[in-house]
Amino acid sequence: MAIAPLTVAVPLLAAGALTAVAPWVNRPIAEVVALGAALAATALSIALLVQAGDGLDIYWFGGWTPRHGIALGVSFAVDSFGAGLAALVAALMVAALIVMWRYRDTDAPHFQVLMLVFLSGMLGFCLSGDLFDMFVFFELMSVAAFALAGFKVEEEAVEGSLNFAVTNTIGSFLILTGIALVYGRTGALNLAQVGGALVGGPSDGLVVVAFALLACGFLVKAAVVPFHFWLADAYAVAPTPVCLLFAGAMSELGVYAVGRLWFDAFAPALGSHADALRAVLIVAGSLTAVVGAVMCFAQDHVKRLLAFATIAYVGLFLIGLGLLTPVGLAGAAIYIVSDGLGKAGLFASVGIVQHRLRHVSEARLRGLGRDLPFTGLLFLAGALSFASLPPFGTFLGKSLIEDGLSSAGYEWVVPILVLTSVLTSAAVLRVAAGAFLGWGTAVPRRVSALDESGSEEDAPRGRTPPSMYLPALAMILGALAVGTIPGIAESVQGAAARFADGHGYAAAVLNGTTPARPGTLPYSTAGHAYAYAAVTGLGAVAMAALALFGNRGRGSAGARLADLGERALAPLRAVHSGRVGDYVAWLVSGVAALGGALALALHPI
Amino acid sequence: MTFLPYAVSAWLFLVGLFGVVRSRNLIHLVVCLSVVQASTYVLLLAVGYRHGGAAPIFADVPLGSRTVDPVVATLTLTDVVVEATVVALLLALAVQAHKRFGTLDPDQLGAMRG
Amino acid sequence: MTRRGRMVLFGFGAVGLAALMAWGLAGLPSFGDFDGAYGTLLSKIAVPERQASSVVAAVTFDYRGLDTLGEEFILFAAAVGVLVLLRIQRGEEDIPAEPQHSRLPTGRSLTLRSVATALVGPVVLLGLYIVSHGHLTPGGGFQGGLVLAAGLLLAYLSGAHLRLGRARPVSAMELSEAAGAAGFALIGLGGLVFAGVFLENFLPTGTFRSLISGGTIPLANVAVGAEVMGATLLILAELLDQHLLTHGRHRR
């Protein structure tokens, strides 16, 4: 049962040890130690996942078990969602460390130390059952992330990292204010205890505003619109192994936190307003998905393109979470895992492109990649994963969410899901076809000023080292494999029912009773899910073809359409100005709007 | 007096954010962020205060007497350390920005458009 | 977006946020009337169970020790982060070491140097006192660590040329910081090994109000003190290095 603390403690100890011997340790040793710690963390998280099964494992630190229903110490409350997310994070860290094997300048062992601390922060965040403890691990993860994003100091990574740091710090202030409000009312910090205490009192302005502020703070990290501006800037400048982690592991943690907070701390008191909350979350998610997808399609810089795709998918995760039913939650969970692996694989492939072709700007890459068929296939597989085609795991996740939306009466959101997949997949197809096949006669609409003309890797230019393509391949195959595991939809729905069971959670944490096994419903993908997938696939190919061949010549219909699109898009592009003052202004307005909507939904005046 | 500390905290939060949005100098921006931090300290400590309560240090205060809440003191201590470290990182970024771009004006750094 | 547009947007947002915060804060118990069960219970049981007279220290290092472990590592990560962000790039000049005989003291003023020299001893002693008595009186590892760092900075100001630069002292600070951070984690692990639960207080709790009390709490204080001192000096050294680098001089 001591697995849970070791999962977090092992990377931290390794980080401390590496720094203590820093002047005497050389780079291979640092890499081996870091990789060993990450592998250990992965093994431990998988053990936690297996052990948690359908129930909830509680670990009280310092041996302080609750007395008279008051939690004295800090607890880790591990269910399969938390453990599963932890396992995904740790596995992606292993992949990132392998990709980093040949990285040119890691200032060893400091880069590895920061990665290990980043890992611990994320793992502790997934496993924690205490509100303030979640905040501490959230900050641990964020501080390491700020430093990692700004790592490439010689290439103007400063601005991206600055935007990242300022906006996320304001998010953490929102979280702290929410914690102070909760503590002022309930005198408790443990999630289960808070849930019980809030039921006893009035559900007035304080409770809903606390939830609104906490949710907004976590959604800043998740990059939901309009808190999303920092993400594209940070991804554009961070080193590739770090981007891999940001996209696959860090971006969904904010959505997970909102879910955890709602079900375990606030739903017992506010559950009667769940329908209104559903509406707000689904609208916010849809807006994020559309903005992300449109901006993704309009990008030239490939890393920014994938960053906006990440934002779009966070919108879809939020829609899945917002359904507040086991079907929606299960869909979101499967989507998070398979899409996380797919995106990470794509980022690793971009790393290969950057190493071999020395560019990340789509316009400059045209035709350069004809000697890299294998990397082209990786890109194609990533695009298929984005399009949620069977048998990728994204197909299963999306069809679960679509089913949830139909049964909740939100059928109008399904076209938004399709549109998001179409645009993001088409963008990747367009890049792949242009770079690896040399297709495309379109005059570039917009060439990014920000390009990276040097390689990050310390390897001969003519070859891709195995440390780069093996992780990419493994992750894309993982995205594929998730969808093929038999019975996965049923078992994840069971886990989702556990995640959504606030009362069972409280009983397990405070009284030590084992929660009842949730029943699992059999699931088979409906026929129309395949129809949606077919539409998405065809749509993606059509959009990509349009983008590549559509606007040859100035006067053609395609060119006029592109002009119209560009003009319509101009205000949206202008808003993404790169200036931190603008981002903070949007953040404040976003908190007022989204926070106000959340508060009013849960407490109608 | 009953809600004044909370009002002060809210004011600090908003005024700090105003400073961040309007700022023309990165160092000024970081200091404005620390003003927003201060609002969280004030709020946490104000929440835990008890009239007539002594500090929860029983070195010379008799056991069993009324004290202020010790948990918020711990929370604030953690908060102070965490935010101070973020300020350190931001200042390091500001130094690098000055080196690379020759300016400390956040509006002039822009390579990230679109 | 123009600055004007930005301020208008912020204005609307700030009004909304202020309304939201006012609505939320209005629900708090009025100032001074807080009655949280958690805090009251801890005040009652911390002394009998842990013999630590400072309940705040007991909460920080024992009851909520995991938060402190995380917080310690945040400081650690920030110091390493500053090291990484301000590292010397290829092509930038390195600061060559000055030959011993031509070093000028950092502070020009005789008053500054004398006062600083006189204060180093007392301040370091004060810092050590605060760190070691954290479980008995207000203070502890975090506060004491900062005072220790201040004491060593006074040594630098007094002209003792600690060479806060690319040489040995940086390694010493990194070592101090890492040892403190790893030390706390090891104390937690010790709890796991000797008492079965991570971060459990496994040392005998001693007698109330004496120096040996509180079990692992004084040890944790020392670990944190070392870490905070190391991290603070490291961050300051890096920032100072940048100043020296950009001004191209090795004297103030």
The three-class DSSP label of residue A69 is coil
Sign of CA dihedral A595, A599, A600, A601: positive
Residue A568 pLDDT level (bands cut at 50, 70, 90): confident
Of A390, A364, A379, A323, nearest to A524 by C-alpha is: A390
* Closest CA–CA distance from residue B43 to any residue of chain C (Å): 10
Q: Evaluate whether residue A455 is within a structural domain.
A: no
Residue C162 pLDDT level (bands cut at 50, 70, 90): very low
pLDDT digits (tens, 9 = 90+) for A20-63: 887 787 888 888 999 999 999 999 999 998 888 777 888 888 87
Cα nearest neighbour of B42 on chain C: C31
Is the domain of A143 the same as that of A123? no
The answer to whether A114 contacts chain C (CB < 8 Å) is yes
- Percentage of chain C lying above the pLDDT 90 cut: 25
Cα nearest neighbour of A582 on chain C: C6
Report the 10 Å Cβ neighbour count for A549: 14
A59 phi/psi in degrees, rounded to 5: -130, 120
Q: How many helices (H) and strands (E) does chain C have?
A: 8, 0
The set of residues, in sequence order, having a beta carbon less than 8 Å from that of A202 and lying 6+ positions away, is: none
Q: At what angle do helices A3-20 and C168-195 cross, to 10 degrees?
A: 160
Report the 10 Å Cβ neighbour count for A188: 25
Q: Evaluate whether residue C94 is within a structural domain.
A: no
Is the domain of A116 the same as that of A138? no
Q: What is the mean pLDDT of the segment spanning A564-589?
A: 86
Q: Evaluate whether residue A448 is within a structural domain.
A: no
For residue A244, the Cα-to-chain-centroid distance in whole angstroms is: 10
Is the domain of A48 the same as that of A153? no
Assigned token pair, A370: 């004809």
Q: A151 vs A23, A155, A308, B93, CA distance in Å?
A: 20, 9, 21, 10
Which residue range forms the structural domain that includes residue A34? Answer: 1-129
The predicted pLDDT at position A259 comes to 93
Assigned token pair, A187: 């005198």
* Interface contact flag, B67 C38, Cβ < 8 Å: no
Is the domain of A146 the same as that of A115? no
* Interface contact flag, B56 C54, Cβ < 8 Å: yes
Q: How many helices (H) and strands (E) does chain A have?
A: 26, 2
CA-CA distance, A385 to A251, in Å (whole number)? 18
Query: Of A129, A152, A176, which closes a domain?
Result: A129
For residue A377, the Cα-to-chain-centroid distance in whole angstroms is: 24
> Which among A111, A183, A591 has CB closest to C84?
A111
Report the 10 Å Cβ neighbour count for A317: 29
A517 phi/psi in degrees, rounded to 5: -70, 125
Q: What is the mean pLDDT of the segment spanning C147-176?
A: 71
Q: What is the mean pLDDT of the segment spanning C167-193?
A: 79
Partners of B49 on chain C (C-beta within 8 Å) are 31-32, 34
Residue A344 pLDDT level (bands cut at 50, 70, 90): very high
Report the 10 Å Cβ neighbour count for B102: 8
Is the domain of A268 the same as that of A378? yes
Is the domain of A26 the same as that of A99? yes
pLDDT digits (tens, 9 = 90+) for C65-104: 899 999 999 999 999 999 888 876 654 555 555 444 445 5
Beta bridge partners of C213: C206
pLDDT digits (tens, 9 = 90+) for B14-33: 999 999 999 999 999 999 99
Number of domains into which chain A is organized: 2
pLDDT digits (tens, 9 = 90+) for A423-471: 999 999 988 888 888 777 655 666 666 666 556 666 666 777 788 888 8
Question: How many residues does this entry show for chain A?
Answer: 605
Is residue A223 a contact partner of residue A171, using CB atoms and an 8 Å limit?
no
CA-CA distance, A520 to A500, in Å (whole number)? 14
Partners of B96 on chain A (C-beta within 8 Å) are 150, 153, 158
Amino acid at A555: G
CA-CA distance, A215 to A220, in Å (whole number)? 9
Number of domains into which chain C is organized: 1
Is residue A198 a contact partner of residue A207, using CB atoms and an 8 Å limit?
yes
Partners of C38 on chain B (C-beta within 8 Å) are 71
* Closest CA–CA distance from residue A410 to any residue of chain C (Å): 29
Is the domain of A8 the same as that of A134? no
Is the domain of A272 the same as that of A370? yes
Q: Higher model confidence: residue C245 or residue A600?
A: A600
Is the domain of A111 the same as that of A145? no
Average pLDDT score, chain C: 80
Q: Evaluate whether residue A460 is within a structural domain.
A: no
* pLDDT > 80? residue A517: no
* pLDDT > 90? residue C178: no
Partners of B8 on chain C (C-beta within 8 Å) are none
The predicted pLDDT at position A127 comes to 93
- Using the CB atoms, write b or e for C19-38: b if 16+ within 10 Å: ebbebbbebbeebeebebeb
Q: What is the mean pLDDT of the segment spanning A476-499?
A: 84
Q: Evaluate whether residue C142 is within a structural domain.
A: yes
The answer to whether A133 contacts chain C (CB < 8 Å) is yes
* Interface contact flag, C13 A581, Cβ < 8 Å: no
Please state which of the ranges A234-238, A332-336, A445-449 shows the lowest mean pLDDT. A445-449
- If you write DSSP's letter for every residue of A230-296 in order, what string do you get? HHHHHHHHS-HHHHHHIIIIITTHHHHHHHHHIIIIIHHHHGGGHHHHHHHHHHHHHHHHHHHHHHH
Partners of C13 on chain A (C-beta within 8 Å) are 585-593
* Closest CA–CA distance from residue A232 to any residue of chain B (Å): 9
Chains that touch A (3 or more CB pairs under 8 A): B, C
The predicted pLDDT at position A155 comes to 66
The predicted pLDDT at position A116 comes to 95
Instruction: Give the residue from A107, A130, A135, A169 with the most B CB atoms within 10 Å of its CB, the best one to mutate.
Output: A169
Is the domain of A26 the same as that of A106? yes
Which residue range forms the structural domain that includes residue C224? Answer: 58-79+108-244
Place of tokens 């702290």: A176
ipTM of the complex: 0.94
- Check residue A106 and give left, alpha or beta (phi > 0: left; psi -120 to 50: alpha): alpha
Q: What is the mean pLDDT of the segment spanning A382-397?
A: 87
Place of tokens 């316009």: A363
- Residue ranges of C 127-146 with Cβ closer than 8 A to chain A: none
Of C149, C157, C143, nearest to C230 by C-alpha is: C149
* Closest CA–CA distance from residue A484 to any residue of chain B (Å): 38
Assigned token pair, A121: 């922060």
pLDDT digits (tens, 9 = 90+) for A192-219: 888 888 887 888 889 999 999 999 999 9
Is the domain of A9 the same as that of A136? no
Is the domain of A84 the same as that of A114? yes
CA angle (A126 as vertex; A122, A128 as ends), nearest 5:
110
* pLDDT > 80? residue C129: yes
CA-CA distance, A149 to A369, in Å (whole number)? 27
CATH code that applies to domain B4-108? 1.10.287.3510
Is residue C162 a contact partner of residue C103, using CB atoms and an 8 Å limit?
no
Query: Of A71, A101, A129, which closes a domain?
Result: A129
Assigned token pair, A393: 């795991």
Q: Evaluate whether residue A458 is within a structural domain.
A: no
Continuous segment of H or E residues that includes residue A58:
strand A57-60
Assigned token pair, A57: 């494992």
